[in-house]
């Protein structure tokens, strides 16, 4: 495990999952790998947080799931973004941008 | 739309639980598998790769549990699970379950029942909305007791005819105005004329009280019975019957409406029957008839006994009405300075002239005759039941606390398996709620039966407007109290279990050597409280029981066995003619002689005595003393008809009456013990004389005998100073005589023969009152005996509950200390010492509880003072006895766990690890 691994900021996991699923339907393991890779191995999602978050997002109707076959021919549950999920992603992205801009303003004053 | 899908999904998840669970499992196993493959690709050895994947995933079951919570109706799912699990757990601890349910049932049931009766009868007896707008108005008046000191208590009677008329005209601050008065009607029943009691009312009486008849209708505005100036009916009319009379006289005939009944010589058509709960103005009211208010006072009536009911107009306050009434009183006093019937003169004689009182109708139910006894009884019971409820709460708390602590290990394991603290709390909450529901249901059953018993205690003369039924607020309160105590004490340990370090809990539950001090304190505190409460309860009950025992052992002053008491109802005109008193008294004496001889010749009769009770004291002077005393003058037969001999009243000094005591100049008297003590303390009263101005002229009497004090109606009746004169010499016209008959065997068998003789001797006689004296005396203690019984039951329940409480604490403590005791025994402690140790722990709790309880009891039993008969509220025998009983029972409760402690086998205890 790399030293510069970071804990996720509270509330950002939903955004990351939605963002990952925007690339297409995928299963839980795929999501966790994708997040790790996209963040250049900095962000690691605990499975104890990932699955409850997936179930929560599904309940809120932002993602839906169906069983399919994985790359290596195994039965797997695939999650995909719903219409409502796309809207939510837009909203959360803009929220995040506002937040990171605000933090940057403080941390790196011009 | 969205929410509907969500809801659907949630409910689907409820019924597809197994399917969803296996899907979740598959999904997560796949994750681990994929991770393992990635690890291998990253260059790990296969086994290492698997372990790393599992480790990275985290505790699978815990993740699953969190996911289930996210899935939707987990709460409902959990609820079902909790309920089934809870039921299983309760079934596994039947003793615990039974005791908690039983204590809740008793506490909730008894409290609710007694509160319901108190509320319906005393606190809130008036039905309908805004019951406090319904008021009563009376002239300011005072009691008319027998003696001066009893004569000046404010009493709420009624109003006199001129005041009634004036009030009826002052309609602008009443939205409705009605009156009622007692009514007596003659009805021929077999050989005798029965005098039936009912009420004269204004036609709107029922509509003012807003009650509907059970059958038929009530009076129309103009349905007035024609009456003469003495309010005797002089024409046919209509009548409304009470439920009880309809039942007893007509057998509940459903076609009663329209039938006729003959009362006082007139035919009354029955137009309605009132419901059973409507018993007003008294429990024994048999009928209601409507009439005009009396304009003038009938010559034999007391002046102010017409009761007035008004409904105040909205916005009119009681104070405002009072000031208006004051003005009305002033006007009346001016208008009637000297009236034909003497109202003005009478008002002027009163301490404050004419004035009015007004009060809410509800007070009528609290101030009537006999209600004082009932009120004290009910409030006493309410107090006792309050203590029982407190003990129940403490006990439920104690038991739940013990049980949850015993389950620390189980809770710890479930925590370790992934249950959150909230989940555990929910489980315990469900279990406690289940218990509370069962206890509550059982409590409802107890309430139902207890109410039936309690209603029997209400004296028949108490007026009632409302059905006594379960008071739901009280039920709710009692349920809530026991529920809250179960929750607080059941959940507190769960809270701690969730917080504590898992390892700690598991370790402690397995191998604890000594009991932690912290949690012992709560439980010990509860036990001390419980014992203190039980002590107060037991003391109260003990005092009541002692009091009733004393009451039942009171010497009534005569032999009540096989004795009949007959109250004669003589035709007024024949035997009480003030204008021809000599002839009337001659007829009386002839009649008494005939009655005596005929009754004495009945087979089975040993002796017949005659007497008269007076109702008004006379102020007489004792010779050789300056003070004037008030004395009652009672009559007595002479010779064979002497009632002292028939009643077997012991003679303390002198002699009974004989022929020497009749005739001019023979002014002799027999006095009772109370008068002897009062007038001639420390001296022999025989030969002493007393006298003064009586309504019949100057009199002077010489004492020839002293007899014991008589209590012939109630055991607890206070005895007045009385002197007896021969009936022949007594000129108390208005008084009907009584006859006492001493029989050889069961007096009930002679009642009909006695009736027959009476009727044959004087055919015009009304139905006499015939009582078996022993029964009357026994009935007079009915309320106290019932009260004693209830108190005893409550005390025993309280005692048992606190015994269970202390047993629970000690049994639990011994179970926790098994290993400690084992070690002690292994290093040489004797069984005796172990026994002493456990008993000592129990005894300290008991002693603490007793000390606290004694202080409380000394302070609280003073409240019982008025209910106690010849017993001091601090009676040392009762206090000593209660402490002893409580100590013995509590130590017995300690003994069982203590003996179990001595049976601990050191080897087994140590191997427990």
For B709-749, the pLDDT digits (tens) are: 988 777 777 788 999 988 877 765 556 788 999 999 888 88
Q: Determine, for residues B37 and A72 on separate chains, whether the beta-carbon distance falls below 8 Å.
A: yes
Measure in Å the smallest separation between the Cα of B66 and chain A Cα atoms: 6
Q: What is the DSSP letter of B700?
A: E
Cβ contact B658:B639 at 8 Å: yes
C-alpha to C-alpha distance for B869 and B873, rounded to whole angstroms: 10
- Chain B residues with CB under 8 Å of A61 CB are 2, 5-6
Q: Determine, for residues A70 and B30 on separate chains, whether the beta-carbon distance falls below 8 Å.
A: yes
- Chain A residues with CB under 8 Å of B59 CB are 48
C-alpha to C-alpha distance for B64 and B497, rounded to whole angstroms: 22
B689-694/B697-707 β-pairing: antiparallel
Mutate: best of B70, B72, B420, partner A, most A CBs <10 A:
B70
Q: How many CB atoms lie within 10 A of CB B655?
A: 13
Mutate: best of A51, A65, A69, A78, partner B, most B CBs <10 A:
A51
Mutate: best of A36, A44, A49, A55, partner B, most B CBs <10 A:
A55
Q: Determine, for residues B37 and A55 on separate chains, whether the beta-carbon distance falls below 8 Å.
A: no
What is each CA distance from B189 to A99, B194, B260, B261, B268, in whole angstroms? 101, 6, 15, 12, 16
Q: In the predicted model, what is the mean pLDDT of residues B478-491?
A: 75
For residue A38, the enclosing domain spans 12-107
Residue B325 tokens, joined: 């009434």
0.85 surpassed by complex ipTM: no
Q: Which residue in B has a C-alpha nearest to residue A79's C-alpha?
A: B27
Q: pLDDT, tens digit, for every residue of B40-68?
A: 888 888 888 888 888 777 777 777 777 77
Residue B301: pLDDT band by 50, 70, 90 thresholds? very low
Q: Determine, for residues B6 and A59 on separate chains, whether the beta-carbon distance falls below 8 Å.
A: yes
pLDDT at position B512: 46
Is residue A19 included in any domain, yes or no? yes
Q: Determine, for residues B56 and A47 on separate chains, whether the beta-carbon distance falls below 8 Å.
A: yes
Mutate: best of A33, A41, A77, A87, partner B, most B CBs <10 A:
A77
- Chain A residues with CB under 8 Å of B58 CB are 46-48
C-alpha to C-alpha distance for B597 and B605, rounded to whole angstroms: 11
Q: In the predicted model, what is the mean pLDDT of residues B243-270?
A: 92
Instruction: Collapse the DSSP code of B500 into the 3-class scheme (helix H, G, I; strand E, B; otherwise coil) and give the result.
Output: coil
Following CA atoms B568, B569, B571, B573 in sequence, which dihedral angle do they give, to the nearest 10 degrees? 90
Cα radius of gyration rounded to whole Å, chain B: 39
Q: Which residue in A has a C-alpha nearest to residue B37's C-alpha?
A: A72
Q: pLDDT, tens digit, for every residue of A51-99?
A: 888 888 888 888 888 888 877 777 888 898 888 889 988 988 898 888 8
Is residue A60 included in any domain, yes or no? yes
Q: Determine, for residues A48 and B27 on separate chains, whether the beta-carbon distance falls below 8 Å.
A: no
Q: Measuring CA to CA, which residue among B539, B585, B385 is closest to residue B854?
A: B539
What is the number of residues in chain A?
Answer: 110
Q: What is the DSSP letter of B909?
A: H
Cβ contact B901:B835 at 8 Å: yes
Q: pLDDT, tens digit, for every residue of B743-778?
A: 998 888 888 889 888 888 888 887 788 888 888 888
- Chain A residues with CB under 8 Å of B5 CB are 61
Q: Determine, for residues A29 and B62 on separate chains, whether the beta-carbon distance falls below 8 Å.
A: no
- Chain B residues with CB under 8 Å of A62 CB are none
| Total domains present in chain A | 1
Q: Determine, for residues B72 and A59 on separate chains, whether the beta-carbon distance falls below 8 Å.
A: yes
**Interfacial residues of B (vs A; Cβ cutoff 8 Å):** 2, 5-6, 9-10, 23-24, 26-28, 30-31, 33-35, 37-38, 56-59, 62-63, 66-67, 69-72
Q: Determine, for residues B63 and A59 on separate chains, whether the beta-carbon distance falls below 8 Å.
A: no
Q: Which residues contact B781 (CB under 8 A, 6 or more apart)?
A: B548, B551, B552, B715, B716
Compute φ and ψ for B633, nearest 5 degrees: -110, 110
pLDDT at position A33: 86
Measure in Å the smallest separation between the Cα of B431 and chain A Cα atoms: 28
Most confidently predicted of B12-16, B251-255, B758-762: B251-255
pLDDT at position B510: 46
pLDDT at position B521: 74
Is residue A39 included in any domain, yes or no? yes
Mutate: best of A52, A68, A76, A78, partner B, most B CBs <10 A:
A52
Of A47, A56, A72, the CB nearest to B57: A47
H-helix or E-strand spanning residue B770: strand B769-772
Is residue A75 included in any domain, yes or no? yes
Over 70: is that where the pLDDT of B575 sits?
A: yes
Cβ contact B610:B641 at 8 Å: yes
Q: What is the DSSP letter of B666?
A: -
pLDDT at position B259: 93
C-alpha to C-alpha distance for B135 and B320, rounded to whole angstroms: 13
Q: Determine, for residues A77 and B26 on separate chains, whether the beta-carbon distance falls below 8 Å.
A: yes
Of A27, A29, A52, the CB nearest to B66: A52
Region of B58 (left: φ > 0; alpha: ψ -120 to 50; beta: rest) is left
Of B5, B9, B30, the CB nearest to A27: B30
Q: Determine, for residues B70 and A55 on separate chains, whether the beta-carbon distance falls below 8 Å.
A: yes
For the ranges B161-165, B703-707, B903-907, which has the lowest average pLDDT? B903-907
B192-201/B287-290 β-pairing: parallel
Is residue A3 included in any domain, yes or no? no
Is residue A50 included in any domain, yes or no? yes
Most confidently predicted of B100-104, B123-127, B695-699, B829-833: B829-833
Q: Determine, for residues A29 and B30 on separate chains, whether the beta-carbon distance falls below 8 Å.
A: yes
Residue B338: pLDDT band by 50, 70, 90 thresholds? low
Residue A1: pLDDT band by 50, 70, 90 thresholds? very low
Over 70: is that where the pLDDT of B302 sits?
A: no
pLDDT at position B2: 57
Measure in Å the smallest separation between the Cα of B100 and chain A Cα atoms: 40
Compute φ and ψ for B160, nearest 5 degrees: -90, 165
Q: Which residue in A has a C-alpha nearest to residue B36's C-alpha?
A: A29
Residue B74: pLDDT band by 50, 70, 90 thresholds? low
pLDDT at position B214: 92
pLDDT at position B703: 93
Residue B674 burial (10 A CB sphere; 0-12, 13-18, 19+)? middle
Q: How many CB pairs under 8 A join A and B?
A: 66
pLDDT at position B515: 46
For the ranges A1-10, B252-261, B345-354, B408-417, which has the lowest average pLDDT? A1-10
- Residue A61: CATH number of its domain: 1.10.10.10
Measure in Å the smallest separation between the Cα of A44 and chain B Cα atoms: 11
pLDDT above 70 covers what percent of chain B?
Answer: 87
Instruction: Collapse the DSSP code of B351 into the 3-class scheme (helix H, G, I; strand E, B; otherwise coil) and give the result.
Output: coil
Q: Which residue reads 């795929």 in tokens?
A: A30
Higher pLDDT, A85 or B487: A85
**Interfacial residues of A (vs B; Cβ cutoff 8 Å):** 27-29, 32-33, 46-48, 51-52, 55-56, 59-61, 67, 70, 72, 74-77, 84
pLDDT at position B77: 67
Q: In the predicted model, what is the mean pLDDT of residues A22-44?
A: 85
Over 70: is that where the pLDDT of B601 sits?
A: yes
- Chain B residues with CB under 8 Å of A46 CB are 58
Measure in Å the smallest separation between the Cα of B486 and chain A Cα atoms: 34
Q: In the predicted model, what is the mean pLDDT of residues B461-472?
A: 73
Q: Determine, for residues B72 and A77 on separate chains, whether the beta-carbon distance falls below 8 Å.
A: no
Q: pLDDT, tens digit, for every residue of B131-178?
A: 788 888 888 877 766 677 776 777 788 888 888 888 888 767 788 889
pLDDT above 90 covers what percent of chain A?
Answer: 1
- Chain B residues with CB under 8 Å of A60 CB are 6
- Check: pTM over 0.95? Answer yes or no: no
């Amino acid at each position: 495990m790399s030293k510069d691994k970071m804990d996720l900021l509270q509330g950002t996991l939903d955004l990351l999952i939605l963002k990952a699923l925007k690339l297409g339907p995928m299963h839980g393991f795929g999501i966790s790998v994708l997040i790790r890779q996209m963040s250049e191995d900095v962000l690691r999602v605990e499975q104890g947080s990932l699955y409850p978050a997936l179930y929560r997002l599904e309940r809120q109707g932002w993602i839906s799931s169906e069983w399919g076959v994985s790359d290596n021919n195994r039965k797997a549950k695939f999650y995909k973004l719903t219409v409502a999920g796309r809207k939510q992603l837009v909203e959360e992205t803009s929220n995040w941008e506002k937040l990171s801009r605000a933090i940057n303003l403080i941390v790196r004053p011009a | 739309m969205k929410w509907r899908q969500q809801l659907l999904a949630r409910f689907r998840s409820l019924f597809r639980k197994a399917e969803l669970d296996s899907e979740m499992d598959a999904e997560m196993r796949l994750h681990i598998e994929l991770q393992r493959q990635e690890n291998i690709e990253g260059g790990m050895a296969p086994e290492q790769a698997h372990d790393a994947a599992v480790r990275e995933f985290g505790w699978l079951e815990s993740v699953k549990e969190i996911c289930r919570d996210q899935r939707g109706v987990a709460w409902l799912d959990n609820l079902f699970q909790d309920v089934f699990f809870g039921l299983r757990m309760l079934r596994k601890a039947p003793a615990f379950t039974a005791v908690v349910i039983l204590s809740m049932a008793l506490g909730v049931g008894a409290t609710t029942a007694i509160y319901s009766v108190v509320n319906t009868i005393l606190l809130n007896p008036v039905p309908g909305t805004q019951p406090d707008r319904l008021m009563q108005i009376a002239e300011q008046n005072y009691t008319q007791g027998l003696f001066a000191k009893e004569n000046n208590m404010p009493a709420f009677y009624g109003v006199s005819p001129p005041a009634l008329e004036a009030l009826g005209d002052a309609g602008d601050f009443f939205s409705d105005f009605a009156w009622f008065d007692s009514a007596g009607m003659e009805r021929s029943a077999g050989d005798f004329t029965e005098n039936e009691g009912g009420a004269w009312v204004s036609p709107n009486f029922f509509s003012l009280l807003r009650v509907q008849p059970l059958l038929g209708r009530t009076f129309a505005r103009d349905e007035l019975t024609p009456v003469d100036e003495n309010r005797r009916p002089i024409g046919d009319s209509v009548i409304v019957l009470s439920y009880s009379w309809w039942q007893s006289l007509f057998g509940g005939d459903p076609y009663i409406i329209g039938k006729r009944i003959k009362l006082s010589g007139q035919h009354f058509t029955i137009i309605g029957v009132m419901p059973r709960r409507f018993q007003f103005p008294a429990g024994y009211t048999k009928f209601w008839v409507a009439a005009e208010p009396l304009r003038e006072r009938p010559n034999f009536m007391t002046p102010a006994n017409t009761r007035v009911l008004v409904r105040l107009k909205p916005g009119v306050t009681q104070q405002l009405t009072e000031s208006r009434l004051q003005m009305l009183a002033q006007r009346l006093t001016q208008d009637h300075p000297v009236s034909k019937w003497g109202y003005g003169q009478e008002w002027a004689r009163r301490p404050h002239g004419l004035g009015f009182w007004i009060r809410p109708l509800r007070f009528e139910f609290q101030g009537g005759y006999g209600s004082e006894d009932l009120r004290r009884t009910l409030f006493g019971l309410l107090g006792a039941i309050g203590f029982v409820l407190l003990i129940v709460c403490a006990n439920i708390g104690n038991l739940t606390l013990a049980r949850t602590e015993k389950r620390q290990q189980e809770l710890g394991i479930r925590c370790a398996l992934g249950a959150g603290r909230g989940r555990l709390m929910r489980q315990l909450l469900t279990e406690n709620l289940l218990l509370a529901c069962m206890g509550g249901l059982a409590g409802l059953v107890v309430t139902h039966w207890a109410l039936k018993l309690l209603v029997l205690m209400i004296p028949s003369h108490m007026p009632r407007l409302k059905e006594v039924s379960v008071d739901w607020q009280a039920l709710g309160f009692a349920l809530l109290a026991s529920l809250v105590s179960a929750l607080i004490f059941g959940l507190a340990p769960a809270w701690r279990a969730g917080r504590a370090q898992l390892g700690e809990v598991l370790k402690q539950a397995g191998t604890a050597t000594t009991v932690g001090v912290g949690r012992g304190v709560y439980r010990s505190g509860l036990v001390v409280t419980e014992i203190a409460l039980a002590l107060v309860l037991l003391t109260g009950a003990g005092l009541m029981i002692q009091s009733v025992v004393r009451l039942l052992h009171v010497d009534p002053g005569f032999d009540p066995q096989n004795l009949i008491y007959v109250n004669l109802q003589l035709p007024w005109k024949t035997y009480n003619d003030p204008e021809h008193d000599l002839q009337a008294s001659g007829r009386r004496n002839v009649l008494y002689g005939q009655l005596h001889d005929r009754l004495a010749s009945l087979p089975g009769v040993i002796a017949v005595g005659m007497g008269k009770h007076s109702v008004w004291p006379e102020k007489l002077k004792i010779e050789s003393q300056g003070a004037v005393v008030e004395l009652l003058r009672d009559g007595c037969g002479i010779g064979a008809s002497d009632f002292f001999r028939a009643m077997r009243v012991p003679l303390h000094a002198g002699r009974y009456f004989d022929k020497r005591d009749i005739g001019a100049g023979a002014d002799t008297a027999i006095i009772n013990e109370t008068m002897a003590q009062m007038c001639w303390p420390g001296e022999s009263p025989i030969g002493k004389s007393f006298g003064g101005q009586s309504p019949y002229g100057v009199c002077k009497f010489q004492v020839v005998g002293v007899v014991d004090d008589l209590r012939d109606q109630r055991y607890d009746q206070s005895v007045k100073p009385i002197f007896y004169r021969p009936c022949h010499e007594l000129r108390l016209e208005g008084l009907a005589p009584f006859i006492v008959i001493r029989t050889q065997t069961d007096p009930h068998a002679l009642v009909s023969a006695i009736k027959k003789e009476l009727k044959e001797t004087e055919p015009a006689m009304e139905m006499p009152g015939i009582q078996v004296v022993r029964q009357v005396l026994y009935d007079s203690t009915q309320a106290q005996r019932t009260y004693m019984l209830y108190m005893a039951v409550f005390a025993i329940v309280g005692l048992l509950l606190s015994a269970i409480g202390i047993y629970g604490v000690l049994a639990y403590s011994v179970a926790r200390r098994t290993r400690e005791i084992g070690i002690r025994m292994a290093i040489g402690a004797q069984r005796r010492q172990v026994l002493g140790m456990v008993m000592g722990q129990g005894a300290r709790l008991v002693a603490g509880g007793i000390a606290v309880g004694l202080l409380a009891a000394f302070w609280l039993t003073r409240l019982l003072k008025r209910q106690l008969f010849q017993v001091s509220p601090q009676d040392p025998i009762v206090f000593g006895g209660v402490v002893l009983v409580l100590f013995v029972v509590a130590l017995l409760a300690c003994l069982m766990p203590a003996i179990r402690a001595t049976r601990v086998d050191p080897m087994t205890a140590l191997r427990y690890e």
